[in-house]
Amino acid sequence: MAVDMKVTLCGKVLKNPVIAASGTFAFGQQHSWLIDVSRLGGIALKSLTPEKRVGNKPPRIAETASGIVNSVGLQNPGVDVFLEKMMKRVALFDTAIIANIAGRSIDDYVAVIQKLNETSIDFFELNISCPNVRMGGASFGTDEGMARDCVMAAKAVSKKPMIVKLTPAAGDIVRIARAAESAGADALSLINTIPAMAVDAKTKRPILGNVTGGLSGPCIKPVALKMVYDVSRAVSVPVIGIGGIMTGEDAAEFMLCGATAVMAGTANLVDPEAPLRIIDELTAYAKTMNIDNITALTGALEV
């Protein structure tokens, strides 16, 4: 029995529910040296801002127990250079393309969206949750009113379905999710990294140049599962589950908790082949469970 792995997200059909998370896949080029990127359900590009960002002072990465703490700081060439030099190559991937958008102000988000509206990009993902830059979005993601204003302004100019990426740093992620939905979000993705830090006791210094960063990897999966479970029951738009997905079963767990699709992040950096392996393992899992259509998993948790 073949498993139908296709899922529909905001009216668009993805080959399978496994998407590469923003910031872990650059603009697809490096992974394309090592794997067939077109096998993925989709790829979320690295955050784009109106202007070039040099990013945070190194070191930008620390390994912790079953996790990593990063503080890249949205390093990107800016939307204009992206359009000029990278968009053509991105368009060659035969997979859904999600442009992740970040900014310091609502005008920033609007400016990037307007520049990308006429491209072949399939979805926008509004990053209102980056923990690594001041006014880098997290402030929009933790305040209900700001989240609503930002999503509304972005939706008003957007010609593409809008995914809003949420931060676990919100006091109550369900409230932010509802605010984003009421402002017009077509889908929600969660969770972004958890604000965190790593310390070197021997030198008595923080490991990261930015002092603090965002935690990701298998250690955050239980936190993410609960948030996906809570949010997917509170909203009617589709939810994309993110948080420490390393295997097909991890992906299945997020779908059971209500996710329509999932994003693998840290896994792509640990093993460039991970996203393909996750697709294969999820397919094998569905077979074992006698599921012929992967969409049957969404929300099928038996409580």
Partner 1 sequence: MFKKVVATVKENSKIAAGIYKMIIACGDADIRHFVPGQFADIAVPGHAELLLRRPISISAVNPDNNTAALIYQIQGKGTDIFSRLTPQTKIDAIMPVGRGFYLTAREKTVFLVGGGVGIAPLLSVTQKWPSKTYEAFLGYKGRDYAYCLDDFENACGKVIVTSDDGTLGEKGFVTDALGRRLIEAKPDIVLACGPVPMLRALKDILSPFGVPAQVSMEQRMCCGFGACATCVCGVDHGEGLEYKKVCIEGPVFDLFEVVL
Interface contacts to partner 1, rule CB under 8 A: 23-26, 29-31, 33-34, 46, 54-55, 57-63, 65-68, 70, 72, 75, 207, 217-218, 246, 266, 268-273
Q: Is the Cβ of residue 185 or residue 215 nearer to partner 1 in the bound state?
A: 215
The catalytically annotated residue of 10, 130, 219, 257 is: 130
CA dihedral sign of residues 264, 266, 272, 273? negative
Residue 130 is a catalytic residue: yes
Q: Is the Cβ of residue 246 or residue 297 nearer to partner 1 in the bound state?
A: 246
Tell me how crowded residue 99 is: count the other CB atoms within 10 A of its CB: 27
Q: Is the Cβ of residue 1 or residue 54 nearer to partner 1 in the bound state?
A: 54
- Per 3-state DSSP, what percentage of the chain is helix, strand, and coil (rounded to 5)? 35, 20, 40
Amino acid identity at 249 = E
CA-CA distance, 199 to 74, in Å (whole number)? 22
Q: Are the CB atoms for 17 and 255 separated by under 8 Å?
A: yes
Q: Are the CB atoms for 209 and 55 separated by under 8 Å?
A: no
Residue for token digits 């498993």?
3
CA-CA distance, 147 to 184, in Å (whole number)? 11
CA-CA distance, 25 to 37, in Å (whole number)? 10
Q: Is the Cβ of residue 25 or residue 229 nearer to partner 1 in the bound state?
A: 25
Q: Is the Cβ of residue 23 or residue 141 nearer to partner 1 in the bound state?
A: 23
DSSP string, 242-265: ESS--SHHHHHHHHHTT-SEEEE-
* Residue among 43, 140, 59 at smallest CA distance from 91: 43
* Residue among 62, 248, 232 at smallest CA distance from 240: 232
Q: Is the Cβ of residue 148 or residue 165 nearer to partner 1 in the bound state?
A: 165
* Minimum distance, C-beta of residue 179 to partner 1, in the bound complex (Å): 31
Residues 6+ apart with CB under 8 A from 60: 70, 71, 72, 73, 208, 209, 210, 213
Q: Which H or E element spans position 200? A: strand 199-200
CA-CA distance, 26 to 46, in Å (whole number)? 5
Catalytic residues: 130
